[in-house]
Structures are given as structure tokens and as C-alpha cells.
Amino acid sequence: MRALALAAQLPIEGAPLRLEHRPTPEPGPGEILVRVTACGVCRTDLHIVEGELPFVRVPIVPGHQVVGLVERRGAGTARFETGARVGIAWLRRACGACAYCASGRENLCERAEFTGYHADGGFADYAVVPEAFAYRIPAIFTDAEAAPLLCAGIIGYRALTRSEVPPGGKLGIYGFGASAHVTLQVARARACEVFVCTREASHRELARRLGATWVGDTREPMPVKTDGTIIFAPNGDLVPHALRNLARGGTLALAGIYMTPLPALEYARDLFYERSIRSVTANTRADGEGLLAEAARIPIRPETTTFPLEEANRALQLLKRGAFAGAGVLLTGGGSPVSSPHDD
């Protein structure tokens, strides 16, 4: 099989992902082998490639927004039939026994493992995953549409929950990449007004097209105070700006796995009146199931730019530059059509 492997963390401009030909892996007990048809490219993949997240396994095949078909099943598996279309997300394993797992917070498990980080991911023709951590993909989505839902969608869904914006409330968003463009659609379906600050003109245009109430540049003050705000951009300098746009009692959710250092905050100006800051850490399987069900009901329409599997370096280079709006997706050539079954 083909796989894009990372052996040394380097700037993506140097194309550090190397195409390799490997034996197809075998699923172990409780695992399924998935023939990958599509895999989203995520900023987390970029953080791993460029070393902002440390290596935990070398070499590693990135990719954690995986859609594909069950090719083989390991011993003791019964959840998915051979040929079922499934998704693999960031959370790959949790211990199931610690206090965090027992209280519905498996995303905080200290023994958690993650796809494309602790184990090889979906920048390949095949990937293996414990069947308990795979998702059945709703039929309404093509492979390319489903892929970004498996991290961008799930993390945005959890961030929206952490921001505590009520239905019909006002949501602020900083940064408008793959995750934000899915989150906006969920929030609009909940009758929220959405206010977006983002750097790239093409991203601002997409936000307007998807129904944002107001769209501006990153440093512009929003025209209203928001009930909650999400920062998707990995830029700590945005935190004071976002806090100043929060209403009293509002919550700021930081959705990224990595963020540059935060500047000093002024208590009276930035935090008083019970404004809160919350980080967002990975996801639970309940988040994944909840997002996929709600996305299918709405239905969400992910905006995707697709690339052949071999162009993973180029896709990440363009992601870094903000050169496409929405989500980037690698296709192996064996997936369903890229066009949506519900396109107008």
C-alpha cells in the first residue's frame, strides 16, 4: 500500500512527508482494517509535521479524518460488517477505566491515544482502528464531505458546547478554516447569529455565503457583544480581542490543540463580570456521534478542496497559507464521487 510517512519534523515547504510502499497492515483483536477512500488535512497534521507537537512515534503516517470501507475484521469484532463505510477520528483509544473515562470525559484520559500521532493514520491506502472508536458514516455525505466532519466538525461541535451559546444566541468566531465553517452551519441551524473575524478574503466570503450575520478582519471589533466566542486560529494574541467582545457572563472557548503564547490580560478589562476562558481538548465518542447525527439532520454542506493522496505535502502547504476556503481532503482514488448527492 501507499503511505505518506513523516520521519523528521521540518517546515512543510520542504515536503517532509515521503511516499512509501508498505505491506498492508493486519487488524488485531478488536480492530478493523479500513480501506481509505478520503482523509481530511487538518492543522493538527501541520503542527505534527512542523514540530509544534512533539513526536511520540517515529516515523508516523499522519491523518485523522479518515473515511473508508471495512476491508477485514480482527478477532472479536461484530460492530461493523465487511464493506461498511466508516470514519476514523482523532481519538483512537482510551483506557475505559480511569476516573475521566468513568465520568464521560474520555477525552481527558491520561492513557488516550490519537490517530496519526500514536498510531499510523489515514494519509495511506489502509488504516487500522479499534472498532469501538470508529463511526458509521451517514449516507447523505460523500466521502469527501464526511472526512472534515471527523475532526474539524467534531472539535467545532465540542467547542460550540464549551462556549455555552444558547439556541438563538450570538456566537463569535475567530479564524475561519475547516472547523469554523462547519461550526457556523451548526450554529445557524440552531438559529444563532454568528459574527466572524478572519484574515483571508476568501474565508470571509465563505462565511458570508454560509449565513454569518457579520464578517470582518481579525482585528476588527465585532458590532455586538457575543454570548460566547470560539477561537479556531492558533494565535494567542487574539485572546484579549475576543474577551473584549464578550458579553458579561460570556465564555471564550479555545479550540486549537496548539496556540502561540497568550499576552498578559487585564483583570478588570478582560475577565471581570464573570467572563470565562475554556480550552477544548480532543473529543469524546459521544461528541462524534452527536455531531454526525446533527450534521446529517441539517444537513451540513462541507466546502472541500480535494487532492490526490500523493499531494499531501502540497495540501498542507496550501493549508498553512490559507490558500483555500473550507476543508482540504486527500482522495486515494477509491472513494465515492466528490459531488454531493444533495447539491442543487
CATH number of the domain that 253 lies in?
Answer: 3.40.50.720
163 and 222 in a single domain? The answer is: yes
Mark whether 158 and 46 lie in a shared domain.
no
With respect to residue 318, please indicate whether it lies within any of the assigned structural domains: yes
Q: By the 8 A CB rule, do 317 and 161 touch?
A: no
Together in a domain, 119 and 139: yes
Q: Are residues 96 and 206 in the same domain?
A: no
Residue 41's nearest CA partner among 340, 334, 311, 336 is 311
Which of these, 20, 88, 6, 53, lies nearest to 313 by C-alpha position? 6
- Same domain? For 214 and 204 the reply is yes
Q: Minimum mean pLDDT among 21-30, 258-267, 334-343: which range?
A: 334-343
Residue 284 falls within a domain, yes or no?
no
36/31 Cα distance (integer angstroms) = 15
Whole-number percent of the chain with pLDDT over 90? 96
Q: Find out whether 6 and 16 touch, Cβ atoms under 8 Å.
A: yes
Distance of alpha carbon 168 from alpha carbon 183, whole angstroms: 14
pLDDT band at residue 252 using 50, 70 and 90 as cut-offs: very high
**pLDDT tens digits for range 59-68:** 999 999 999 9
Residue 219: pLDDT band by 50, 70, 90 thresholds? confident
22 & 143 share domain = yes
Range of the domain at 164: 153-279
Report the alpha-carbon distance of residue 319 to residue 325 in Å, rounded: 9
Give me the pLDDT at residue 333, please. 83
Q: Write down the pTM of the prediction.
A: 0.93
Say yes or no to pLDDT of 338 above 70. Answer: no
Same domain, 183 and 216: yes
**Are 17 and 117 in a shared domain?**
yes
Number of folded domains that form the chain = 2
Amino acid letter at 67? V
- Is 336 within the bounds of a domain? no
The owner of cell 455586538 is 224
Q: Is residue 237 part of a domain?
A: yes
Tell whether 165 is covered by a domain: yes
Do 33 and 60 sit in the same domain of this protein? Answer: yes
Any bridge partners for residue 87, and if so which?
67, 135
CATH of the domain at 72: 3.90.180.10
* DSSP β-bridge partners for residue 6: 17, 60
Q: Is residue 344 part of a domain?
A: no
Q: How confident is the model at residue 121 (pLDDT cuts 50, 70, 90)?
A: very high
Give the Å distances, CA to CA, from 290 to 138, 150, 295.
12, 11, 8
Mean pLDDT, the chain, rounded, equals 95
On whether both 110 and 200 belong to a single domain, the answer is: no
The overall longest dimension of the chain from CA atoms, in Å, is 60
| Whether residues 21 and 103 fall in one domain | yes
Mean pLDDT within 115-122: 98
In a domain, 285, yes or no: no
The 3-state secondary structure of the chain reads: CEEEEECCCCCHHHCCEEEEECCCCCCCCCEEEEEEEEEEECHHHHHHHHCCCCCCCCCECCCCCEEEEEEEECCCCCCCCCCCEEEECCEEECCCCCHHHHCCCHHHCCCCEEECCCECCCCECEEEEEHHHEEECCCCCCHHHHHHHHHHHHHHHHHHHHHCCCCCCEEEEECCCHHHHHHHHHHHHCCCEEEEECCCHHHHHHHHHCCCCEEECCCCCCCCCEEEEEECCCCCCHHHHHHHCEEEEEEEEECCCCCCCCCCCCHHHHHCCCCEEEECCCCCHHHHHHHHHHHHHCCCCCCEEEEEHHHHHHHHHHHHHCCCCCEEEEECCCCCCCCCCCCC
Q: Is residue 288 domain-resident?
A: no
Q: Tell whether 121 and 188 lie within a shared domain.
A: no
